[in-house]
Amino acid sequence: MSQIDWQSMKNLGGYEVGTENKKTAEMRGRLAEGPAPVILEHIYQQRLKKDEATLPYLTEANLAHVVMLARTRILQEPDAKALLGVLMQIDEQGKDLFDLDAKLEGLYYNYERYLIETLGPRTGGRLHTGRSRNDLGATTSRMKVRDLVLRLLHQIIQFRSSLLHTAEKHLDTVMTGYTHLQPAQPITLAHYLTAIEQALQRDTVRMLQTFENINRSCLGAGALAGTGFPIDRQMTADLLGFDGFVENTLDAVGSRDYLLQLFSNLAILAITLSRFAQDLFVWYTYEFGIIDLPDQLGGTSSIMPQKKNPIIMEACKGRTSHVLGGLITALGAMKNTNYTNVIDVNTESFHFLDDSAYQIESVLALLQAAFENMEVRKDRAYEMASANFSTVTELADTLVREKDYSFREAHHIVGEIVRKAVQKGLIATQITSEFMDRVMVAKIGTPIELPEDKVRQALDPKENVSARAHDGGPAPSAVATTIGRARRLVEKDKHLVETTDQKLQEAKAILRRTAQDMIDRR
């Protein structure tokens, strides 16, 4: 290619070098006019605010691209060295090296302008060989999101570990289990906490599966149809720590379904955390009184001096709603769009991702502070489980075992006994063998004659729990087994995430060493 008089390019819509507009030179292609003020204010300026966080990923992608261009001999060594030198400088000093001008639409053109101003148009302008902003943006988005996912996974796994640690302290803390927020059957606090942990196990699996879908490079896809240059897509994927690349070039730039998968995962996680917060919220009430929080975790009232408000649980329940909003926004942004690169999909669908991730991180931190520091009123929990008839399913089971009733017959008998007890103002522990006989004689003319020790055993919440020692049951021995299995899974997941994180850090280090070696080569 012959030498071009770059000064003359301003007449063709190129960079205006050597004019009063040099600092805000525009790359507008066929467009003869600069962007309108309304476009600057509502699109490009907003884009730049978000783009700043993308700068480190853009620099990494640029380094990998130049290394690949040099190795495939698409780019000559002097140009590659010069580009890599400036890119390494940007990598070290970041956005302080250049001003961001909204007239250049976004971060990339500002970045390229700095390269051209530093190296001249002939060398600086070669960075974009064999690619488009489309495949570059699709790749840097994946790089940013995979870091976000790993950060969330670290916190989720830590939360799971803390749940198990707290559960181990409460293997014998008997409490009422509820269905429809009505007393159901006795369980333990450990049994409850391991239920939450198992839900988070599934969240972890979903997030890891999403990470696999995210961790694919899009470089080499170009605008949508690839490039005529003999690029090596696997090389750039390897240099950036990706597991591979999105094969179809149109799919690479046109799809962001991994984002919908991630938002869905975050929404499912948010719902589980909100339900956990709601249970703690109820247990904290005066009427339940099962738990208390230290003063430093409570809020106060400007008028009522007795108040210690559960602001943690209220904040968690409210903040999880923002995550659901993020999912709906992303789904709405992508619906009915063409299957190609469009702003609706590649920009607007991401609008609430950072905020959704923050909400999840804050809720995890707040809830962990709550359950790790809460005072559990074991006596109150046991008293409620003893009084509220949550034990009478075991009384029906006892009739099946001891008196050979069918369960349905036993169910009807015990239901009648409870009805009479409630009418007389009795609690569960006040039901006796003699009371049961009187009720049934009046009802069917025949006593039950269940020994008193069997009645007492059936109505004891602790005995109820101990009897359910099968896999997954609330008995301390069963929950201890569950905790042991869960701990092994936590360690396995922790190792996997740490190894994945380490792999990405190693790829970053190798990329920079490779770039520096190319710069230093004589």
E strand or H helix that includes residue 34: none
Q: What angle do CA 129, 133, 135 make, to 5 degrees?
A: 90
The Cα 10–Cα 17 span in angstroms is: 7
Max Cα distance, the chain (Å):
112
The Cα 271–Cα 210 span in angstroms is: 18
8 A C-beta contact, residue 519 and residue 81: yes
Residue with tokens 């008998």: 413
The Cα 166–Cα 372 span in angstroms is: 7
8 A C-beta contact, residue 241 and residue 507: yes
Q: Which of 301, 321, 362, 406 is catalytic?
A: 301
Is residue 35 exposed (0-12), middle (13-18) or buried (19+ Cβ within 10 Å)?
Answer: middle
3-state DSSP assignment of residue 309: strand
302 is catalytic: no
180 is catalytic: yes
Residues 70-75: contacts with CB under 8 Å, at least 24 apart:
70/518, 71/232, 71/235, 72/229, 72/230, 72/231, 72/232, 72/235, 74/129, 74/130, 74/229, 74/230, 74/231, 75/126, 75/129
3-state DSSP assignment of residue 35: coil
CA 104 to chain CA centroid, nearest Å: 34
Q: Which of 2, 8, 180, 470 is catalytic?
A: 180
8 A C-beta contact, residue 51 and residue 107: yes
The Cα 48–Cα 58 span in angstroms is: 13
HEC secondary structure over 156-193: HHHHHHHHHHHHHCCCCCEEEEEECCEEEEEEEHHHHH
CA 339 to chain CA centroid, nearest Å: 27
| Torsion angles phi and psi, residue 294, rounded to 5 | -65, 155
* DSSP string of 69-96, one letter each residue: HHHTTSS-HHHHHHHHHHHHHHHHHGGG
8 A C-beta contact, residue 170 and residue 190: yes
The Cα 179–Cα 110 span in angstroms is: 59
The Cα 26–Cα 273 span in angstroms is: 48
Closest CA to 463 of 363, 411, 394: 394
Active site residue ranges: 180, 301
